């Protein structure tokens, strides 16, 4: 037990074949996505040599993620979620194939390139809320956090390895090779979701009774569910406080310029340090995924994130600065894992798609607005001041959420109910024809 508690908890990969398939497909998709992101950035720059055009990549990606993410939440609560993910993953495969074809055809039209990027982002966002609900349906309650930790490790690894692999492929075989690698990864992801069991929303969870009025509560959207449950709004407010007030990435180039002479290798080390911290925390995530006090763990991790980034703003030499970023990356990983598990476990299944879409929008908009806030503040003060002020204000805001939300502080992950003679346990192994759906 000691080893399994300390290191990465791999029980979900052993106990559930459907989750194992999902994890393999998601890992491939994440790696392909990171490779494609580098290829798109390089190709747009090659076509235009314009920072405005490279900035449009963010718009082509971010806007579909917000709009279609909200639509995907409603869709995920209305139909079989497996079907949603099947079709949207197939759409991503077609978009990746389109990117490969346009590169092979020596496309010179940046609008066509960005349209394909937006199409892939829209498909991914439309399926994201449904995909987020899968671990809680495929795993017992005490393994959900461990499953999310495994997902996070694969994502951090993709962030670290994907850009480097893309650079090597582009250098040797040009843009089509990187896009072909993304298409292959999308094909693997498509095959993985095809093998999943049906996962229709559980309609019985929608019959929530309003105690005060003594009648069934109307089935409203995800925002209503979030605001009525202190654990949900507290968890999301914690995440929003951390990203909106302390997101540091937009300040990396300025910090690199004033402290390290604008060395591009140092700038790369900033990003790598965050990823290394995240991967390390993921590999040792068994220390937190089996702790039932998920709300308290998230609050503490989010505070560590803010303090570490304030430390990065104060750190002069390179190695202390990288150390602060690694701690921030580790804290972010712990916070993301615990928040994701809490949100899925606390949300009635009939609402999980819409609540997941709310979580998705916060996860997309918070970092982008946080980077904008940091850049704006640094432009009128300085990068170190913006980092320190942001980190400390985020810590104070998280502390205020903790003080005001006793339910989040006291939240405990539910233990899986033992099987009874009249209510058999949900199937989670390879022999299961469905997963609670």
What digits encode the pLDDT tens for the residues 205-247? 444 444 344 444 445 556 788 888 999 999 999 999 999 899 8
Same domain, 281 and 387: yes
Same domain, 233 and 278: yes
| The pLDDT value given to residue 63 | 83
Q: How far apart are CA 420 and CA 425, in angstroms?
A: 8
* Residue range 277-323, pLDDT digits in tens: 988 888 887 777 677 788 999 999 999 999 999 999 999 899 999 99
| The pLDDT value given to residue 206 | 41
Bridge partners of 210? 215
Same domain, 42 and 128: yes
Per the domain annotation, does 93 fall within a domain?
yes
Assess whether pLDDT exceeds 80 at residue 385: yes
Same domain, 242 and 177: no
419 close to 425: Cβ distance less than 8 angstroms:
yes
Same domain, 268 and 370: yes
| The pLDDT value given to residue 2 | 44
Q: In which domain, by residue range, is 174 found? A: 1-201
Q: Which helix (H) or strand (E) holds 209?
A: strand 209-210
- What mean pLDDT do residues 359-369 have? 79
Q: How far apart are CA 74 and CA 267, in angstroms?
A: 40
At 403, is the pLDDT very low, low, confident or very high (cuts 50, 70, 90)? very high
Per the domain annotation, does 284 fall within a domain?
yes
248 close to 390: Cβ distance less than 8 angstroms:
yes
277 close to 153: Cβ distance less than 8 angstroms:
no
* Residue range 10-30, pLDDT digits in tens: 889 999 999 999 999 999 999
Per the domain annotation, does 425 fall within a domain?
no
CATH number at residue 391: 1.20.1250.20
Same domain, 232 and 170: no
Query: Among 148, 166, 201, where does a domain finish?
Result: 201
Higher pLDDT, 432 or 268: 268
Same domain, 225 and 89: no
| The pLDDT value given to residue 419 | 46
435 close to 137: Cβ distance less than 8 angstroms:
yes
Q: How far apart are CA 127 and CA 122, in angstroms?
A: 9
Q: How far apart are CA 185 and CA 195, in angstroms?
A: 16
Same domain, 166 and 247: no
Per the domain annotation, does 314 fall within a domain?
yes
Number of domains in the chain: 2
Q: What φ, ψ does residue 210 adopt, rounded to 5°?
A: -80, 110
Same domain, 42 and 133: yes
Same domain, 348 and 387: yes
At 370, is the pLDDT very low, low, confident or very high (cuts 50, 70, 90)? confident
CA 136 to chain centre: 16
- What mean pLDDT do residues 167-176 have? 88
In terms of average pLDDT, the best of 105-109, 214-218, 353-357 is 105-109
Same domain, 18 and 149: yes
* Residue range 48-105, pLDDT digits in tens: 877 567 767 777 887 888 889 888 888 888 889 999 999 999 999 999 999 999 999 9
At 417, is the pLDDT very low, low, confident or very high (cuts 50, 70, 90)? low
346 close to 202: Cβ distance less than 8 angstroms:
no
Assess whether pLDDT exceeds 50 at residue 43: yes
| The pLDDT value given to residue 234 | 94
| The pLDDT value given to residue 435 | 31
Per the domain annotation, does 261 fall within a domain?
yes
Task: Say what the pTM is.
Answer: 0.72
Same domain, 165 and 253: no
| The pLDDT value given to residue 352 | 85
Average pLDDT, the chain: 83
Nearest to 331 by CA among 290, 289, 277: 277
Per the domain annotation, does 112 fall within a domain?
yes
97 close to 180: Cβ distance less than 8 angstroms:
no
Higher pLDDT, 204 or 279: 279
Per the domain annotation, does 208 fall within a domain?
no
Q: What percent of the chain stands above pLDDT 90? A: 39
Higher pLDDT, 51 or 142: 142
| The pLDDT value given to residue 425 | 42
Nearest to 115 by CA among 56, 33, 162: 56
Per the domain annotation, does 426 fall within a domain?
no
């Amino acid at each position: 037990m000691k080893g399994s508690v300390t290191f990465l908890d791999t029980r979900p990969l052993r106990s559930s074949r459907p989750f194992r398939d999902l994890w393999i497909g998601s890992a491939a998709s994440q790696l392909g996505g990171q490779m494609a992101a580098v290829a798109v950035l390089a190709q747009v720059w090659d076509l235009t040599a314009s920072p405005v055009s490279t900035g449009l990549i963010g718009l082509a990606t971010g806007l579909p993620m917000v709009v279609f993410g909200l639509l995907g939440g409603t869709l995920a609560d209305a139909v079989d979620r497996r079907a949603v993910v099947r079709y949207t993953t197939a759409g991503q495969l077609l978009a990746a194939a389109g990117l490969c074809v346009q590169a092979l055809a020596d496309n010179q039209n940046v609008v066509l390139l960005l349209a394909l990027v937006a199409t892939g982002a829209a498909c991914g966002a439309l399926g994201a809320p449904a995909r987020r609900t899968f671990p809680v349906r495929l795993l017992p309650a005490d393994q959900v956090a461990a499953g999310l930790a495994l997902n996070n490790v694969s994502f951090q690894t993709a962030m670290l390895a994907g850009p480097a692999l893309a650079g090597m492929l582009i250098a040797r075989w040009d843009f089509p090779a990187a896009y072909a690698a993304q298409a292959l990864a999308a094909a693997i992801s498509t095959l993985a979701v095809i093998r999943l069991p049906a996962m229709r929303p559980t309609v019985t969870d929608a019959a929530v009774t309003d105690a005060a009025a003594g009648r069934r509560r109307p089935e409203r959207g995800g925002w209503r569910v979030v605001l009525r449950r202190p654990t949900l709004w507290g968890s999301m407010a914690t995440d929003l406080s951390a990203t909106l007030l302390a997101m540091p990435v937009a300040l990396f180039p300025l910090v690199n310029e004033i402290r390290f002479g604008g060395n591009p290798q140092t700038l790369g080390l900033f990003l790598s340090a965050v990823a290394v911290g995240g991967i390390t925390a993921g590999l040792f995530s068994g220390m937190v995924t089996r702790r039932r006090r998920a709300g308290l763990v998230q609050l503490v991790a989010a505070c560590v994130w803010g303090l570490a980034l304030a430390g990065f703003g104060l750190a002069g030499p390179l190695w202390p600065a990288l150390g602060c970023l690694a701690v921030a990356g580790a804290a972010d990983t712990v916070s993301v894992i615990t928040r994701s598990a809490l949100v899925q476990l606390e949300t009635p299944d009939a609402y999980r798609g819409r609540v997941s879409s709310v979580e998705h929008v916060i996860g997309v908009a918070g970092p982008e607005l946080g980077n904008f806030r940091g850049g704006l503040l640094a432009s009128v003060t300085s990068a170190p001041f913006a980092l320190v002020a942001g980190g400390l204000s985020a810590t104070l805001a998280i502390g205020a959420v903790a003080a005001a939300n006793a339910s989040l502080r006291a939240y405990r992950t539910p233990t899986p109910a033992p099987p009874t003679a009249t209510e058999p346990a949900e199937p989670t192994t390879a022999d299961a024809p469905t997963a609670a759906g």
